[in-house]
A and B are shown apart, each in its own frame.
Chain A
Amino acid sequence: MNYVYHLLIMICLYGMLAQSLNLVVGFAGLLSLGHAAFYGLGAYLATLLMMNAGWPFILSLVAAVVFVGALAWLVAIPATRLQGDFFVLYTLGFQMIVFSTLYNWVDVTRGPFGIPGVPRPVLFGATISTPAAFCILSLVVALVVCGALWLLASSPYGRALQAVREDAVAAASLGKDTDAFKRSAFAWAGALAAIPGVLFASYSSYIDPTSFGLEESIFILCVLVIGGAGNLRGPLIGAVVLVLLPELLRFVRIPDSAAANVRQIIYGLALILMMRFRPQGIAGKYAFD
């Protein structure tokens, strides 16, 4: 049963990650390969606050969300000058810088050794330690995040964001500050990505930089692209498919050493085939054009 809880928790975490990335990719139309950086910064920041400063879980979570959101906003300032491919390169660069900071700033992050013993969340005096309780917590948080995104997406703000995506020049001529919209979308996405980061840290109770590298960013983008961008259904479907797919592969007899590679090859092929035949993903609305 714990196995089922684990899968559900993973679906919640990647659902939230893909949902938050969707705000940038699907709604603002900016492809990003740096999402795992925000995810990782959230995880590290909350962990350090809980373990070194002794802050309670909720307070650390809020601080991580606010800080990462603000950082994402700052990062987006030069980025809005860039178009298409170069925006992607920029986010990739941000991802590399964050990774090498987490990896090399050994005094604070313990670098490649990682941080063991991240405390479990304590809510209203109760410690959430069993997988079942953690699963409920993740489901509740995921629901709240999706609800917030639904409000954001169906508000005038969400529609303006899509207008900026469809035709920046037309949106600007109607008095919309397109750069400000892109910046705020990036900030929201970063802030919301910090939440699964904090949950991941306290769930696995151990974090190290390799969980938040470029491969993770690529994986989050895979979840979104395969599920479909531009609406709220796509990312959730993507999370379900990509979390469960490797579990199905367990039943096929593949040697353990090759399993990770086979999984990656399947993701890669899925990306190529999706882009060729169904760029809007399984259930998405936005086909990247």
Chain B
Amino acid sequence: MLQFLANGFCKGAVIALVGLGFGLIYTTTKVFHLAHAAIYAVAAYALFLAMGAWRLPAIIGIPFALLVAAAAGLLIEIFVYRPLAKRSASAAVVLISSLGVYIVLINVIAMAFGNQTQILRPGIEKTFAFGSVILTRVQLAQALVGLLLTGAFWMFLRRTRIGQICRAVADDDTLASVLGIEVGLVRLWVFALGSVLAGSGAVLVALDVGMDPHFGFSAVLAAAVACIIGGLRNFLAPAAGGLLLGLTQALVIWQTSARWESAVTFGLLIVFLLVRRQGLFGVVQRMEER
């Protein structure tokens, strides 16, 4: 039981990271960033390139992967989303474009690296025992990095000027731009940061179980669900949602089998949509404010 909760916590920490990135982008720019899943895969394959093919150590490989993720996020914003935002295109148009970006990137990766699963570190992982709970080194890293980055993200939003500006733009981007804030620049920050968060989640999973080109999609779906059950318009809620989702998944896997994981994710989503639509920490809004 404790073991499953611990596994669920580690898993939830990764969902939380990807969810924080997804939520940051969604709340600030209103872009439903399905291509976040492609960024996730891009980061994992950049790590594979650095550590698997070029045999670089992790200390160089991981920052390289995060940089590539940030660059990919920025390019998508500049070439796809920004022209649409200038035209103030509808949410559906942006979402379909995002889907297009996802399809293109995933298939480019599949052409370059193949569709099969790539494993970064074969062999048995070093483990640590805490009483009756046993965690691998990567799982420990997932939990710690998840907590640390969530804390750092909170500091960023509260303490730095750019973080405060992000919150202002999320509240009302027209008003923010009237007050002299360069919304375009803020969006670049948001996409870079969101992509780094997705990339760090991807790196932590890739080191654990390896990767295939499509593995980002379920991660980002879980992240989006974490955002909703956490509550939108709250930058930290995805972390809580992610943990809740990770723990629920672990409990269900314990009781039944791992095959029903995606069904559990969406079952939880539907329950929240029916019972508590604003999420754990959300606020009820009027229709015209949405």
Total residues of chain B contacting the partner, CB 8 A = 44
Are A89 and B262 in contact, CB atoms less than 8 angstroms apart? no
Contact between B96 and A225 (Cβ–Cβ < 8 Å)? yes
- Interface residue A276 (Cβ < 8 Å from any Cβ of B): yes
* Contact assessment for B111 and A258 in the assembled complex, using a CB-CB cutoff below 8 Å: yes
B108 within 8 A of A: yes
A62 on the interface (CB 8 Å rule)? no
Chain B residues whose C-beta falls within 8 Å of the C-beta of A234 in the assembled complex: none
Chain B residues within 8 Å of A88, by CB = 32, 95
Q: Interface residue count for A (Cβ, 8 Å)?
A: 43
A96 touches B90 (CB 8 A): no
B113 shortest CB reach to chain A, Å? 11
| A78 and B228 alpha carbons, distance in the complex (Å) | 15
Interface string of B103-114 (1 = CB under 8 A from A): 110111011000
Q: Write the nearest CB–CB distance from A166 to chain B, whole angstroms.
A: 12
Majority secondary structure, A binding face: helix
Asked if B151 is at the interface (CB within 8 A of a chain A CB), the reply is no
Count of inter-chain pairs, beta carbons less than 8 A: 124
Inter-subunit contact B100/A104 (CB<8 Å): no
Beta-carbon contacts of B234-278 to A below 8 Å, as 1s and 0s?
000000000000000000000000011011011101100110010
Within 8 Å CB of A288, what residues of B?
Answer: 90, 92-93, 96
Chain B residues in 8 Å Cβ range of A103: 259
Which residue in A31, A78, A261 is a CB contact (below 8 Å) of B96?
A31
One of A64-72, A121-129, A203-211, A266-274 contacting the partner = A266-274
Query: What separation, in Å, do the CA atoms of A101 and B90 have in the docked complex?
Result: 34
B78 at the interface (CB under 8 A from A): no
Cβ contact within 8 Å between A268 and B100: yes
Are A90 and B103 in contact (CB-based, < 8 A)? no
**Chain B contact residues, majority secondary structure:** helix
A275 at the interface (CB under 8 A from B): yes
Q: Chain A's nearest CB lies how many Å from the CB of B191?
A: 16
Q: Which residue of B lies closest to A265 (CB)?
A: B107
Which A residues are CB-close (under 8 A) to B267? 97
For residue A258, which residues in chain B have a CB less than 8 angstroms away from its CB? Answer: 111
CB-based closest 4 A-B pairs: A93-B266, A271-B100, A268-B103, A268-B104
**Residues of A at under 8 Å CB distance from B?**
31, 78, 81-86, 88-90, 92-94, 96-97, 99-101, 103-104, 169, 214, 218, 221, 225, 258, 261-262, 264-265, 267-272, 275-276, 279, 287-289
24 contacts between A and B (CB under 8 A): A78-B274, A84-B92, A85-B26, A86-B228, A86-B273, A89-B32, A93-B266, A96-B265, A97-B267, A101-B263, A214-B217, A221-B99, A225-B96, A265-B104, A268-B100, A268-B107, A270-B100, A271-B96, A275-B84, A275-B100, A276-B84, A288-B90, A289-B89, A289-B93
